[in-house]
A and B are shown apart, each in its own frame.
Chain A
Amino acid sequence: MRFSIMLQVVSFTTVILLAAAALFAWLQNRPFEEESAVSGQPDRIEQRI
C-alpha cells in the first residue's frame, strides 16, 4: 500500500514537472506584441544549440 502510494506520488510529481515544462515552453514562445526596451535590461543572448 505504502509503495503503491509512493508510485502514485512519483506519477503525480512527473505530471506536475511535465506541466511546468509545457508552461515554460508556452511562456517562452508566446508572441511578443512589441519589443520593449527597458534601460539596463541585457540584450537577448544569441541562440546556440
Chain B
Amino acid sequence: MKNLFRHNPVIVAFSWIAVYLLIIILPLLVLLIYPSTPDRGFWTEFSVAVGFIALAMMALQFVLTARIGRIESSYGADILLGFHRYTSLVAFALVLLHPVILWIVQPQTLQLLDFPNAPWRARLAVLSTLSFILLVVTTLARKSLKIPYEPWRFSHSVLSVLAVVLAFGHTIGVSNYLGLFWKALLWTGLILAALWLIIYVRFIKPWLLMRYPYEVEEVRPERGDVWTLALRPVNHAGFRFQPGQFSWLTLNITPFSMREHPFSMSSSGDRSDRLEFGIKALGDFTRRIKDVRPGTRAYLDGPYGVFTIDRYWDSAGFVLIVGGIGITPILSILVTAAQRQDDRPFLLIYANKSWDDIPYRETLTELQAQLDLEIVHVLRNPPDDWEGETGYVDQALLERYLPIHRGSRHYFICAAAKMMDQVEHALGNLDVPVTNIHLEHYNLA
C-alpha cells in the first residue's frame, strides 16, 4: 500500500497540489492567532486575506521554476511551467483585487494612490504592483513586443524579486497582521526561502556547473536545417540519462549569464562520454549553432523531464508520433532501445513537410535493422511518385496504424503545439487511456 502511494502518478501529483495549497493557506490561518483589530467588516478582511494569499502564491512561483527534481519528475517541465504561468495570472488577479475591494468598501483608501504624499507602506504596494504589471505584460506580449529571450529572462527574474520583496515590505509596513514578531518571522522565512531558491538557481547552480564543463566535439549538418551538436565531458564522467530527457545548454559563455536553452538529447541515454543534441535553426540562438567551432566550452544542467519510455518498463510496446524536429527525444529513445536490444514493437508516425526535409531519415532507416520498428512517414508536400501517407496526422490516419489493443501501448507525442493538440484529441477519441499518452512541448520559452 505504501508503495502504491509512492509510485501512483495521480496520487503523487495530487499530493504536491495539497502541499502547494497548505503552504499558501497555513501562514494565512496562523494570522488568526492573536488577531488584529476586529470589526473592520467582512470585505476589508477578505481583501487582506486575498493580499496575503497573492503574496504566498508569488513566493511559491520561485519553487515552481527552480527545477526541483522531485516536483519536476511528478509532472514534467512543460506542465510545471504551464502551472507557473496560470497560477501567476491568478496571483496577479488577486494582487489587483486586493486594493480594488478596499477602494470600494473604504473609498478614503484611494488617497493612498497619491504617491508623493502617501506613506511608505502604500508606496511599496504601488511599486510592487507596477513591477508585477510589467512582469506580466512583458511575458504575455514578449513576442509581439519583440523582446529577445535572454534579456526577457533576466528582466523576468529581477521584476519577480522586486514584486515579492516590495509586497512583503508593504505587509510589514501595514503591520496589522504581522505586528507580532513571530508572525513576521514566519512570513519572513517564507519570503527568504523563495529568494534563496532564486539565489540557488542563478548563482549557486551555475557555480556548480562550472566544475563540470563540456567541450563541443562536432557540429554536423542534418536534413531539414537541423544540426547535431555533440559534446564530450572534460575531466569528468558526464551523465547518463533516461532517453527522451532534456538538458539546459549554455554555450561559449559562463553559466552565470542566464543565457541557457533547453534541448532534448538525441544520443543514447546509456552513453555518458558523448552527448548529442538535434537543434533546428529556428531562433536567434539556434541559428548560430552551425557556426560553433569544435573545442567551444559548454555547460549542461540536466537531465530533466519525464518524457521517457524508462518509466514504462512493462509496456507491451510504444507508439511514437512526431512532427519535424520533435524527433530529437524520440531518436534518443530508439537509439537507446537498439543498444539495449529492446525487442518490443515501436511504431513511429513521423510528419514532415517534404521527403528531403526529414531530419535523421537515414539513421531511422538503419535503426529498423536493429529494432522491431515500423516507420510511417507523413508528408505535407509529397513528391509526385509518393505512395505513402500525406497531409496531417489525423484520427483516420491513426486508426489505420494503431494496434487493436490500444491500452497495451504507451504513446509519446512530440511536435508543434497545434499538432500535439490534434493528435491528443484523436487518441482520446480512439479510446487510448489518458494515462498512456505522454507529450513533450519542445518550445518551453
Measured CB to CB, the nearest residue on chain B to A9 is: B17
Measured CB to CB, the nearest residue on chain A to B177 is: A45
Cα–Cα distance between A45 and B112 once the two chains are bound (Å): 21
**Residue B430 CB within 8 A of the other chain:** no
Q: Are A21 and B49 CB-contacts (below 8 A) given A29-B41, A44-B36?
A: yes
Give the shortest distance, in Å, between B110 (CB) and chain A (any CB): 11
Cα–Cα distance between A44 and B79 once the two chains are bound (Å): 44
Chain B 11-30 interface 0/1 with A at a Cβ cutoff of 8 Å (1 = within): 00000010011001100110
Interface residues of B in 5-64 (CB under 8 A from A): 17, 20-21, 24-25, 28-29, 31-32, 34-46, 48-50, 53, 57
Measured CB to CB, the nearest residue on chain A to B424 is: A1
Chain A 1-38 interface 0/1 with B at a Cβ cutoff of 8 Å (1 = within): 11100110110011011101110111111001000000
- Among the 9-residue stretches B80-88, B284-292, B337-345, B370-378, the one with 4 or more Cβ atoms under 8 Å from chain A is B80-88
- Residue among A2, A25, A26, A45 making CB contact with B175, cutoff 8 Å: A45
Q: Are B46 and A47 in contact (CB-based, < 8 A)?
A: no
CB-CB under 8 A from B31, the residues of chain A are: 24
Give the shortest distance, in Å, between B392 (CB) and chain A (any CB): 19
Q: Are A26 and B42 in contact (CB-based, < 8 A)?
A: yes
Report whether over half of chain A's contact residues are helix, strand or loop; otherwise say mixed. helix
Q: Are A6 and B38 in contact (CB-based, < 8 A)?
A: no
Number of A-B contacts defined by CB within 8 Å: 108
Measured CB to CB, the nearest residue on chain B to A41 is: B34
Measured CB to CB, the nearest residue on chain A to B36 is: A45
CB-CB under 8 A from A26, the residues of chain B are: 42
Q: Are A49 and B46 in contact (CB-based, < 8 A)?
A: no
Measured CB to CB, the nearest residue on chain B to A3 is: B82
- Residue among A1, A21, A29, A47 making CB contact with B53, cutoff 8 Å: A21
CB-CB under 8 A from B39, the residues of chain A are: 29
Q: Are A17 and B43 in contact (CB-based, < 8 A)?
A: no
- Residue among B28, B112, B121 making CB contact with A20, cutoff 8 Å: B28
Q: Are A14 and B90 in contact (CB-based, < 8 A)?
A: yes
Q: Are A10 and B40 CB-contacts (below 8 A) given A2-B439, A42-B180, A49-B112?
A: no
Measured CB to CB, the nearest residue on chain B to A10 is: B86
Q: Are A29 and B40 CB-contacts (below 8 A) given A1-B428, A13-B17, A13-B87?
A: yes
Q: Are A28 and B35 CB-contacts (below 8 A) given A20-B53, A49-B102?
A: yes
CB-CB under 8 A from A9, the residues of chain B are: 17, 83
Q: Are B24 and A17 in contact (CB-based, < 8 A)?
A: yes
Q: Are A24 and B28 in contact (CB-based, < 8 A)?
A: yes
CB-CB under 8 A from B439, the residues of chain A are: 2
Give the shortest distance, in Å, between A38 (CB) and chain B (any CB): 10
Q: Are B49 and A24 in contact (CB-based, < 8 A)?
A: yes
Measured CB to CB, the nearest residue on chain B to A14 is: B90
Q: Are A25 and B17 in contact (CB-based, < 8 A)?
A: no
CB-CB under 8 A from B176, the residues of chain A are: 45, 47-48
**Residue B234 CB within 8 A of the other chain:** no
**Residue B253 CB within 8 A of the other chain:** no
Q: Are B21 and A16 in contact (CB-based, < 8 A)?
A: yes
Cα–Cα distance between A17 and B109 once the two chains are bound (Å): 25
CB-CB under 8 A from A3, the residues of chain B are: 79, 82
Q: What 7 pairs across the A-B complex have the smallest Cβ distances?
A: A21-B49, A25-B45, A47-B37, A25-B46, A24-B49, A45-B179, A10-B86
Residues on B close to A: CB < 8 A? 17, 20-21, 24-25, 28-29, 31-32, 34-46, 48-50, 53, 57, 79, 82-83, 86-87, 90, 94, 102, 106, 109, 112, 121, 174-176, 179-180, 424-425, 428, 434, 437, 439
Q: A2-B439, A26-B42, A44-B37 are in contact. List 11 more A-B contacts (CB 8 A).
A: A2-B79, A2-B434, A6-B82, A6-B83, A9-B83, A20-B49, A25-B44, A28-B32, A28-B35, A47-B36, A49-B174
Subset of 17 A-B contacts with CB under 8 Å: A6-B83, A6-B86, A7-B86, A9-B83, A10-B90, A16-B21, A17-B25, A22-B46, A24-B48, A25-B42, A25-B46, A28-B32, A28-B40, A29-B39, A44-B35, A45-B37, A47-B36
